[in-house]
């Protein structure tokens, strides 16, 4: 006698996720939805409540099981465009976030003239999240971002991507990778704080896109600059815990060099094998006073090399002046090595 066992998947609860619905009902009054760790595993359970969801200013769905690609239906939830300020999808196992670039014309993400046109007329990209200021995607499994990822989020100020699988698009070819990564982070008109720590990058995301001709690289036109140079308005950039061996702005010595006028801090701490820091990194902007290289075995040798560089000396003097002003104002401060 042979016994045959048939396996059937457990039927989905027709009532959906009750814990999520309870949180959503509370959010009708507060406009803040916090549904972290409620075992959500199907985007349909979220999107079917579009009317209530779209009225929220803050949506947090962290630490769930929403591993499938973020659906365009979720990004395009009616009401999100006018109300959503903060979105947290961290720790879900997400790998695909292409829906955030749904409004980018197919095949146009890598076209420079298209990007410049978008920079000049933002509403040409739809659907969008024009009010979003904070996007938290940390602790997922994201390996790369879609081109012009930020085009639909013109007011975004904080982007959390730490603890993902972000890696070089062209392994072993740092210049090509840096140029490709630029496509992820251009059109960031208000993005001030970016956390890319704990990923697998070997280059800093500061180099221009690779298809920009010399006149575009040197352009002072704001739209062109936004389309060519990533993170033009960044204030803090955290790239700690990656695989960067040489921390560099990325542009060749002959190419025009664009400073970041708002940049205050960069971290390349605790890299797998950091061996050198390009002195041009310290000239990225007059407000730059913190370049963190702690946690790297080669830090003493790196500092020895930098102390002979004029750009580094100018940075130390500038930082010392900032520290003096902070101390005079009664604010605790520490001086760089």
Q: What is the CA radius of gyration of the chain?
A: 22
Task: State the Cα–Cα distance between residues 77 and 33, nearest whole angstrom.
Answer: 14
CA-CA distances (angstroms) from residue 134 to 126, 284, 323? 19, 25, 30
Distance of CA 224 to the CA centre of its chain: 20
**Residue whose C-alpha is closest to residue 298's, from 259, 245, 250:** 245
Mention the CATH class of domain 95-212+222-329. Answer: alpha beta
Q: Using an 8 Å Cβ cutoff, are 100 and 137 in contact?
A: no
Tell me the per-residue pLDDT of 127-177, one tens digit each, with 9 for 90 and over. 568 899 999 999 999 999 999 989 888 899 999 999 999 999 998 898 889
pLDDT > 60? residue 327:
no
Tell me the per-residue pLDDT of 254-284, one tens digit each, with 9 for 90 and over. 566 778 899 999 999 999 999 999 999 999 9
What per-residue confidence (pLDDT) applies to 89?
98
Task: State the Cα–Cα distance between residues 273 and 106, nearest whole angstrom.
Answer: 38
Is-above-0.85 flag for pTM? yes
Tell me the per-residue pLDDT of 273-313, one tens digit each, with 9 for 90 and over. 999 999 999 999 889 999 999 999 999 999 999 999 999 99
Q: Which own/partner contact pairs does 105-112 have at CB distance under 8 Å and 24+ positions apart?
A: 109/146, 109/147, 109/148, 109/183, 110/147, 110/183, 110/211, 112/209, 112/211, 112/212, 112/216, 112/227, 112/228
């Amino acid at each position: 006698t042979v016994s045959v066992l048939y396996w059937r998947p457990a039927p989905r609860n027709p009532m959906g996720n009750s814990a999520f619905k309870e949180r959503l009902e509370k959010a009708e009054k507060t406009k803040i939805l916090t549904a972290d760790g409620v075992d959500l595993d199907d985007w349909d359970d979220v999107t079917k409540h579009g009317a209530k969801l779209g009225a929220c200013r803050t949506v947090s769905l962290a630490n769930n099981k929403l591993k499938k690609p973020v659906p365009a239906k979720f990004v395009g939830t009616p009401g999100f465009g006018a109300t959503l300020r903060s979105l947290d999808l961290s720790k879900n196992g997400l790998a695909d976030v292409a829906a955030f670039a749904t409004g980018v014309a197919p095949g146009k993400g890598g076209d420079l003239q298209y990007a410049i046109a978008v920079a000049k007329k933002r509403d040409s990209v739809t659907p969008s999240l024009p009010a979003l200021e904070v996007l938290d995607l940390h602790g997922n499994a994201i390996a790369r971002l879609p081109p012009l990822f930020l085009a639909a989020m013109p007011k975004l100020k904080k982007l959390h991507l730490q603890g993902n699988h972000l890696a070089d698009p062209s392994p072993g070819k740092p210049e090509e990778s840096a140029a490709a990564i630029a496509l992820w982070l251009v059109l960031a008109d208000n993005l001030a704080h970016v956390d890319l720590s704990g990923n697998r990058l070997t280059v800093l995301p500061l180099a221009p896109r690779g298809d920009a001709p010399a006149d575009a690289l040197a352009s002072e036109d704001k739209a062109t600059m936004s389309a060519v140079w990533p993170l033009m308005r960044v204030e803090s950039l955290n790239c700690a815990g990656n695989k960067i061996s040489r921390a560099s702005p990325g542009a060749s010595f002959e190419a025009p060099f664009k400073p970041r006028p708002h940049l205050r801090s960069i971290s390349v701490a605790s890299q797998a094998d950091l061996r050198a820091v390009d002195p041009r990194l310290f000239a990225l902007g007059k407000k730059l006073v913190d370049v963190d290289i702690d946690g790297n075995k080669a830090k003493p040798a790196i500092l020895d090399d930098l102390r002979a560089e004029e750009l580094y000396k100018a940075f130390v003097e500038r930082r010392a002046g900032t520290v003096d002003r902070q101390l005079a104002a009664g604010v605790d401060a520490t001086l760089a090595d």
